[in-house]
C-alpha cells in the first residue's frame, strides 16, 4: 500500500503547512491540475502546473483566493499506481466574503514512490459563483 502512504503523508504535510515536506512526495515533473486544466484569471486555482514550483504556485493561488480554508479528509484509498482521497471543504472567498462549501475528491497517480499526476475535483460552478461579485445565493 505504498500509494496510500504517499497520499496520506502528502496530505498530512499540506495540512501542517509544510510545503517542502509535501514536495518530498512529488516527482520533479509532476502535473498538478487544479479542478480545470485551462487557466482562468477569474478563478486562480484553475490551471495546470508542473513540478515542485507548480505545487507552490497552486498553493499560493489557494492562499490568495480564500481568506479561510477548512478541508476534511473522510476517505483514502489506493492501489495499482493510483491513490484517492475525498472529503469536504468549507472556505471563505477573500475577494467576496462568500462561503464556498463542496464535496471534493483528489486522484493522484503514483510512480517510483512519488506523485506524478494530481487532479483535484470540486464543485466548480459553486466556486465560480462564490468568486463572482454580488449577493450570496440563498
- The answer to whether residue 20 sits within a structural domain is yes
Distance of alpha carbon 123 from alpha carbon 25, whole angstroms:
26
Instruction: Report whether pLDDT(119) > 60.
Output: yes
- The answer to whether residue 53 sits within a structural domain is yes
- The answer to whether residue 138 sits within a structural domain is no
Distance of alpha carbon 41 from alpha carbon 75, whole angstroms:
31
Instruction: Report whether pLDDT(138) > 90.
Output: no
pTM of the model: 0.91
The number of domains in the chain is 1
Distance of alpha carbon 116 from alpha carbon 29, whole angstroms:
7
- The answer to whether residue 137 sits within a structural domain is no
- The answer to whether residue 136 sits within a structural domain is no
133, three cell numbers = 461579485
Q: What angle do CA 70, 38, 63 make, to 5 degrees?
A: 25
Q: For the segment 8-44, what is each residue's pLDDT rounded down to a tens digit?
A: 999 999 999 999 999 999 999 999 999 999 999 999 9
What is the pLDDT at residue 136? 57
What is the pLDDT at residue 134? 78
94, three cell numbers = 477573500
Domain coverage including residue 23: 2-131
Q: For the segment 55-105, what is each residue's pLDDT rounded down to a tens digit?
A: 999 999 999 999 988 999 999 999 999 999 999 999 999 999 999 999 999
Instruction: Report whether pLDDT(113) > 90.
Output: yes
Output the domain CATH number for residue 14.
3.10.450.50
CB 6 within 8 A of CB 26: no
Q: What angle do CA 46, 48, 118 make, to 5 degrees?
A: 100
Amino acid at each position: 500500500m505504498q500509494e496510500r502512504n504517499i497520499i496520506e503523508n502528502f496530505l498530512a504535510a499540506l495540512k501542517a503547512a509544510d510545503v517542502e515536506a509535501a514536495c518530498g512526495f512529488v516527482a520533479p515533473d509532476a502535473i498538478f491540475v487544479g479542478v480545470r486544466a485551462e487557466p482562468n484569471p477569474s478563478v486562480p486555482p484553475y490551471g495546470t502546473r508542473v513540478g515542485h514550483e507548480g505545487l507552490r504556485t497552486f498553493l499560493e493561488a489557494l492562499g490568495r483566493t480564500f481568506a479561510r480554508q477548512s478541508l476534511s479528509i473522510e476517505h483514502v484509498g489506493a492501489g495499482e499506481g493510483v491513490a484517492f482521497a475525498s472529503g469536504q471543504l468549507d472556505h471563505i472567498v477573500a475577494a467576496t466574503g462568500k462561503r464556498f462549501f463542496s464535496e471534493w475528491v483528489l486522484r493522484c497517480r503514483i510512480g517510483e514512490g512519488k506523485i506524478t499526476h494530481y487532479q483535484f475535483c470540486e464543485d466548480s460552478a459553486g466556486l465560480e459563483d462564490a468568486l463572482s461579485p454580488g449577493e450570496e445565493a440563498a
